[in-house]
Chain A
Amino acid sequence: MSDSMAGTRFMRIVNITLIVLLSLTIILPFMHVLAISFNSGIDAQKGGITFWPREWSIENYIEVFKQENLMNGLWVSVFRTVVGTVIGVGLMAMAAYALTIKTLPGRKYITFFVFFTMLFSGGTVPYYLVLNELNLTNTIWVFIIPSLYSVIHILLFRTSFSQLPFSVIEAARIDGCSEFKIFRSIVLPMSKPVLATISLFTAVGHWNDWYSGSFFIRDPLLKPLATLLQEMLTRQAALSDILLRSSGTQAYAQLDKVTVTGESLQMATIIVVMIPMVLVYPFIQKYFVKGITVGSIKE
């Protein structure tokens, strides 16, 4: 073996080692959280748990599913994710398709009208006040209507649609197909990778969004899971509240009887929040690289 080949081999080993190390920094923290979530909370407080539970317990999960507000939050999250994604992706794809029609009068101005909102916005407070004037705040629709469209997703759709074989669409048009039919039965079926990718982005955005629930919602029954988790993590008071409610009206002394601690409940909630993601991940990720092409705004 020559020197340069040995050098290449060495570089390859260094390369793969670094990649494995990066992967470990991602896998191990989740293993740690998983281990604590399946460990008795009181026992976990003593420390020493790394990547495997010491005293197995499913109490934490039972507690999560017993919490009425968490279960309610789960439904709010599921509702907004499903409804928001289906309507949003449909509307965005439709708008993007119209923007690929080269003969459309005013297409440039419309594209600019949409694109400019990415560069400049009214900011946090005016946005909130507009939601208020529309009576959207403190209703479930504040999760859905204001996030129907996203400029970057429209642009991704548009780039992908404009690469479709024009002849197929033109042939359907000559055959007398209506534009809506062309869109539904030709454009959409031919664009599965980008549809899958943007649906996932939109769904993840809905699922992860804690901000709207925190600042635009007062009714505790309308708070999504992500917001409840955020309140749990940032406000210790909220957490003791939850535990207090579950142990009746008694003082914290009662808590001793439960093996669940605030920390272990948090870890179980984190896992519950992540489960849907982990479930859809393998099915959709094969489309990622195909579905994403970053390009300019101009064509």
Chain B
Amino acid sequence: MENLVVHNGILKTRQELELHYNPVKDSFWTRITKHKVFYIMLFPCLLFFLVFSYWPMGGLVLAFKEYGFNTGIFGGDWVGLQYFEKFFSDPRSSLYINNTIIISILKLFIALPFPILLALMFNEVQSNKLRGTFQSISYLPYFISWVVVVGLMNQLLAPNTGLINQMIEAFGGDGSTFFMMEEGLFFPLAFISYVWKGIGWDSIIYYAAIVAIAPTLYEAASIDGAGKIRQVWHVTLPGIAATIIILFILSLGDILSSGFDQVYLMQNPGNADVSETIDTYIVRTGLQGGQFGYATAIGLMQGIAGLIITIIVNKITSKKFGTSLW
């Protein structure tokens, strides 16, 4: 009888109590064999990333090697920094870097507030049904491929028969502009179509974060005399800051790729000078041109720059806002 004790409201023997405070630690191998089934579940996943992610990472040595069809990825002769020199001595390279950075800045920074604004607007709609309907419409484009979106743009912006040109003509203007071919319109069109495609979906993610904010915070702010705008500034925005930061860091990895699909599909002879980015250049020289080593070298620089930027920003946000991706 004296062996029984009450611990946290549960009747236990002395032995059980002892085990609770000093659990017997299994040896490393016992713990591994105990979890065998979970390793089985993970095995295909690890194999997958080993083959499709880490093997190509190893293939980056190609940036310093000569690729031959009989020598494969790892067998060619070393060529040193030849490809890097070639890239930096090409006067057009800086153009590609510029284009990439312009598109990235447009997408990462300039486009950032739009979905947040839309989420705030959705939050102000009183009727659930109405809001639900508009939300469903707004994120439809997110699920449509860039192929279709660029097809739509070609159609809407076509000279004479396109919807926009028809409207211009109806108002007495000249309806023969080939908008998609205009060099000066490439960045604005890329930006608008990017925002249009993603605004609804991103706003859903922000909206979910807004809804999760405790209503008492608004009440407190309201009692303190804060109006609608100040409530948004002092309650809503801080409440969704973590979501904004996480989404922002996640998109940073792509800062030097600026979205291959959209840019590649929007390219045409009219905008060739502004629409060639690092990504499309890699595909053109590498996959289409067969200069494997050269394209790998450019990809390597792009990848390392993306990694460094992501790590730095993650560190900054972690220090300044206490939010980080890892």
Cβ contact within 8 Å between A105 and B155: no
Whether A250 sits at the interface, judged by CB under 8 Å, is no
Contact pick for A149, options B49, B196, B199, B283, CB 8 Å: B49
The listed residue (A119, A148, A267, A292) touching B155 by CB distance below 8 A is A267
Stretch at the interface among A11-19, A60-68, A162-170, A240-248: A11-19
Q: 1/0 per residue B30-51: CB within 8 Å of A?
A: 0110010111011011101101
Using Cβ atoms and an 8 Å threshold, which residues of chain A touch B81? none
Answer whether A123 and B208 are a contact pair too, CB < 8 Å, given A16-B125, A104-B35.
no
- Residues 230-259 of chain A, each 1 if its beta carbon lies under 8 Å from chain B, else 0: 100110000000000000000000000000
B residues in contact with A233, CB < 8 Å: 147, 150-151, 154, 265
Q: In the complex where A33-B152, A125-B62 touch, is A288 in contact with B204 (Cβ < 8 A)? A: yes
Chain A 36-76 against B: per-residue CB contact (8 Å), 1 yes, 0 no?
10000000111111100000000000000000000000000
CB neighbours (8 Å) of B154 from chain A are: 233
Interface of B is mostly: helix
- Least distance between A72 CB and chain B CB atoms (Å): 18
Q: Is the interface of A mostly helix, strand, loop or mixed?
A: helix
Residue A120 is within 8 A (CB to CB) of chain B in the complex: yes
Contact bitstring A195-227, B, C-beta under 8 A = 1, else 0: 000001000100111110001000000000010
**Contact between B121 and A229 (Cβ–Cβ < 8 Å)?**
no
What's the interface size class on B, roughly? 35 or more
Known: A117-B49, A121-B56, A294-B247. A226 touches B145 (CB 8 A): yes
Q: B204 touching A229 by the CB < 8 A rule?
A: no
B144 touches A208 (CB 8 A): yes
- On whether the beta carbons of B124 and A281 are closer than 8 Å, the reply is no
Tell me, yes or no, whether B303 is within 8 Å of chain A by CB: yes
Output the least CB separation between A216 and chain B (Å). Answer: 9
Contact between chains at A128 and B287 (CB < 8 Å) = yes
Chain A's closest residue to B120 (CB) is: A15
Comparing B7-15, B135-143, B181-189, B217-225, the segment that makes contact with chain A is B135-143
Which partner residue on chain B sits nearest A20 by CB separation?
A: B134
Q: Does A130 lie within 8 Å of B205, measured CB to CB?
A: no
Is the CB–CB distance between A32 and B295 below 8 Å? no
**In the assembled complex, B122 has its CB within 8 A of some CB on chain A:** yes
Contact A274 B41 (CB under 8 A): no
Cβ of A126 under 8 Å from chain B: yes
Interface string of B224-239 (1 = CB under 8 A from A): 0000100000000000
Whether, in the assembled complex, A176 has its beta carbon less than 8 Å from a beta carbon of chain B, the answer is no
Name the segment of B87-95, B103-111, B159-167 touching the other chain: B159-167
Q: Is B77 at the interface (CB under 8 A from chain A)? A: no
Nearest chain B CB to A264's CB is how many angstroms away? Answer: 10
What residues on A are CB-neighbors of B262 within 8 Å?
Answer: none
Closest 8 CB pairs of A and B: A122-B56, A123-B299, A126-B59, A208-B145, A95-B45, A117-B53, A126-B56, A98-B38
